[in-house]
Structure 1
């Protein structure tokens, strides 16, 4: 497992943390304070906004979990990776592709997300 694979797993762990206070604590460990997250449905900046966004996504897909869709592909301070969202051990309902850029401290500072498959 590469360093980026570990970072991606920590990223997905944040998305799977349902307690808002615990999730915010994890967000501060994984993301820079000025983190910028953009996907087709949202654009937020900062820890609090990201925490709220993740909580809203969990409300939209209750009981679903994020899992890696394969290994990350990385160079320099950026990585691209796929993820899946679905019931634990079940078929993915949503599949996405993200590009993450790390800050100088090794935390994620930017995420650019794309949705490859969404429920109709």
Structure 2
């Protein structure tokens, strides 16, 4: 992966769609193996998650908690350079109101996500 905006956009959109919107644990694990370094770290507002298996577990529990129609949708395109990328998103039921908005900020190493910060916007 180069440092082009298209590469950052592809990587962070794939993370949303193939990890945080994927309900099949095996498919999610395959995506994480492709998109993340061997020992990634994810920083949530109230938790720090280490390792691919733990990131998969957290994503799966999140989807289970919010129900079968809950979906993360990118807002705009990811931007980034020099190994740092940002993608805004919104989430909620597919046909319902937006429940939460935020952004993912990722440190990219050798074309994969090494560290991921999940930032949540304050409720309106």
Specify which of 43, 65, 89 is matched with residue 48 of structure 2: 43
Runs of 4+ in 1 over 2 A off after TM superposition: none
- Which residue matches 1:75? 81
Partner of residue 35, structure 2: 30
Shift of 1:49: 0.5
The CA RMSD over aligned residues, in Å, is 1.7
Q: Which has the higher contact order (CA 8 A, sep 6+)?
A: 2
Q: What are the superposed Cα offsets for residues 64-93 of structure 1, whole Å, 9 maximum, x if unpaired? A: 011102111211111112111112244321
Q: Distance in 2 between matches of 1:99 and 1:47?
A: 17
Is residue 12 from structure 1 mapped to residue 1 from structure 2 by the alignment? no
- Consecutive unaligned residues of structure 1, counting only runs of 5 or more, are none
Runs of at least 5 residues in structure 2 that lack an aligned partner in the other structure? none
**TM superposition score normalised by structure 2:** 0.87
Take 1:25 and 1:94, find their aligned partners in 2: how far apart are those partners?
27
Count of residue correspondences: 118
Task: Name the SS for the 1:70 alignment partner.
Answer: strand
